[in-house]
Amino acid sequence: MAETATLYDKLGGKEAIGSVVDVFYKKVLADDRINQYFKHTDMEAQRRHQTAFIAYALGGPKYTGRSMEKAHEGMNLQEVHWDAVVELLVESLQEKGVSNEDIQVIAENLLPLKPHILGK
C-alpha cells in the first residue's frame, strides 16, 4: 500500500508554503482590519514562525514555536480579525494556484485553532 503524501508535500514543502506566507503578509500589512497588530513585529521572524506553523498543520516538520494561546495572549482578537485572516489566507493560497479542494482541507486543519487564537 502506497503512503499518501501530506498536503505539505503536495503543495511543495517549506519553500512553497513560505511563498504563500510572503503573499499573505503583504496583504495583512495592507489591511486596516488587522495591520495594527503587526506594527511592532519583526516581520522576518513572523514569516519564519508562520511558515513553520502552517507547514506543521499540513503534515510537515514538527512545530516548536509558542502555543497559539501564548502567541495571541492579550491581543483581544475578535471574529472580525479571524475572518480577515482567513479571507487573506484564502486569497494568498488562490494566488499561488492552490486548488479550492486543498484550501478547504487547509481551512479544516486550521479551524480547531480558532478558540485558542481568539482566547474563547
| Cell numbers placing 40 | 511592532
What's the pLDDT tens digit per position in 97-115?
999 999 999 999 889 999 9
Contact criterion met (CB below 8 Å) for 51 and 14: yes
Q: Which of 62, 59, 58, 53 is nearest to 116 (CA)?
A: 53
pLDDT value, residue 3: 56
Say if residue 83's pLDDT is above 50.
Answer: yes
81 is in an annotated binding site: no
- The full set of domains in the chain, from first to last, is 11-118 (1.10.490.10)
pLDDT at residue number 1: 44
